Chain A
Amino acid sequence: MKSKIKKRIFQGLPASKGVIIGKVKKFDLKSLRIERKQAKSKREELSKFDKAKRRIIKELESVLEHFRGSYRKIIESEILIINDPVIEDEVKKEIEKGYTAEFAFIESMRRFLSKMEESESTLFRERAREINHLVRKVLEVLQGKPSLIDVGEGTVIVSDDISPIDVFSLSKVNDVGIVIEYGGPTSHSVIVAKSLKVPMVCAARGILENVKDGTEIIIDGWSGKIIINPSDETKKEYERKPILYGDAIEKIIKGPRRGKGKERKRVSIMGNAAGLEEIEEIVKYKGFGVGLFRTELLMWDPAIWHNEDTLAEVFEKGSKMVFPDPLIVRLIDIAGEPTIPGFEEKNPFLGLRGIRFLLFEKEIMKMMYRAILKASNLGNIRILLPMVTTLKEVEEAKSILEKAKKELTREDVPFDNYIPVGMMIETPASALMIKEFTSAVDFFSIGTNDLTQYTLAVDRSHPILAPLYSEFHPSVLNLIHHVVKGAHPYRKKVAVCGEMASDPLGAIILMGLGIDELSVHPDAIKLLYGLFQWLEYKKVKEFARKTLEMPDAKTVKEKTIEFIKKNIPPLAVFYE
């Protein structure tokens, strides 16, 4: 019997960009053991509690001045919780019974939090979770534990959850990163991590039990990937990422403008976004609009998600920001991600996801359509349908769109009646049947991550099989090429919005295979602009065709690196 195999790759949600290669330091609320213990002196416990309270309030107040708006209000509410007179009375009563301050405090808070956790409203349950941060903070201070501020450079905090104030403390140390098991990309800690440029990945379920203090770990805030005990080769790959996506890349890669005239293939470089902040960055880096606006993360904010008009407002703002360039909004794609509380499947990737989920929950689909249509009056918004496998799904999806349009017409709400509708190609089924779809949709967008996983039948976080997962596998490349060949005669454009497009190797092959638009995370836009200055389309095309005949992913990668070394000298150094 082999020893238990530990999971080494985790896919979380990217929360705050940047890569950290470092050592794990675990902070786990469950690890704080509070024993039901009698205290030596009541007076001592009371004064201990009082001191801890004052220290935390002081800390919160010092953070307060750095923030405005809604985040400021959150800190204000935390101060009120620490200062809560009812909690204080409860704590005093427990201490009077002879218990320690820690036990008294956790007992008192538990009574309240358990009631909030039972609430039917997600918002209250979420809040209970966030108050738990605060409970932990108080307990840490009461137990005299070293605070997060004491961690050294090159540390990756792995925790079930983290409070905004702890993120703030961490930002004072260089080269630290954060991974949490819970939390959404719009939770308050993430907002703070983003604004203070601390790389962070959230929703990495089950990671705590797979790492120890001191374990070597890589976290990638661009892709949400986490790698435990990485090989030297993987480390090298991730070490170059911050350079490739950093601001200095423009100077490094500056090259001659090649491929003018006939030989030049125009590839539009677009950006992926999950919120308005990213759209701002896409505009800053002069991307050609938003190639993929992910709507999953908007769900984390119930204030947006439960209100069609608020949702429309987000889309409208985005549309104005990129105008006249396009904003491509993808309808929500739920894929076994922890996006819907209480919704779990045994094999979610083969289950009710993508367009299947939307056709099952037609009201959600119609609500999204209505919000998108309401925002569409500038004429630059397009709709993207997630994970389609059959033509019938597209037809049903379009008939619901017609319903939404009729409703709005009746309500006298103006919208873009000719709003383009495209579909994601994420399965071999839709890639192979591309011609069938050309008359039904206006454009295609290939999601390389899912296409790879479905083609190779490999879960990319599988502890043993992960190395088999590669977008560079010739089977995947052949499917991509098949899509381009099928769509172009009908003048339908093909985009790629997966991680592959953000990688120099991937971008080169995709350009050569005839992809029209590459949609990448905002930081990769300047890299691609630089990269394409060096390339002659004829050469790239010739090279990409050759990859289709190669035997495996390894050969494709090696040959592409050779191609880079020969054609883009400034990038050669990254692949030594």
Chain B
Amino acid sequence: MIYNNPFSILSETIPSIAMQSFLILMIAFVIIGTLVDIIHKKNVKYFFENAKKAKLSATRELGVGEKTSVIAKTVVYDIGTTSELGAGKRRVAHLLGMYGTILFWISSAVMIFCYSSTTSNTPSAWPIIWHVGAIMTILGGSWFWFFLRVDVYSEAQPWYRIIKADLFVLALITTSLFGLVWSYLQYLNLNERWDDKVFLVLYIVSNLVLFGGVYWSKFAHMFYKPGAAIQKNLAEADGSRDNLPPEADAPEQFGLGIKREPPKHY
């Protein structure tokens, strides 16, 4: 199963152009949903106004080279390793989900656009990436949803309480899960049986919810968070630091630091 391109098998019943159109529609959903979100919340406008105001208290001007270096470091470390989550389970779960999703989406796009005809010969790497990406997303997403959600972990809400903020993570998990099950059933070659068709429909519906629900879900944090991380590090570099004090030059007499406990004292 893991070596089979599910979209190539699907092209026997659904033309490639339909799959490609669906993918383009999903991209359009993301762009439209994010733009409407930005217009409605005015968050980007506030963000840039705040950044402009913070720049007034900058103590030094950053050159193009320095800015590029700060941005590159932010992309590699802060964004690439989601450093803001600190060390711990939340970061591992987020990294699993994040890279799983990226692999799943990229391999989906490549297989749909390049290898989705009955005659195409898909390099085995792409189906492997697609399946591994889906498994990583399910593992990371489920770990987060069942055990690490802050409203459950720190607020003592019951685990079965579903709120609007779950729309994104649940849609992400179900998309990967239904995709995997559909791929497996299709691989079994059950001929005219209904199983794989049902899961194909569920896979399509969960994709529609995931990408069509951008305005209502947390989807757009994927774009906001990297922007905020870059602004934060640029503000540290130019000395404005969002009005925060500089890092302390710790005198020795202050003694040892303290160890923070996990936020679970409800």
Q: Do A and B bind each other?
A: no
Measuring CB to CB, which residues of chain A are less than 8 angstroms from any residue of chain B?
none
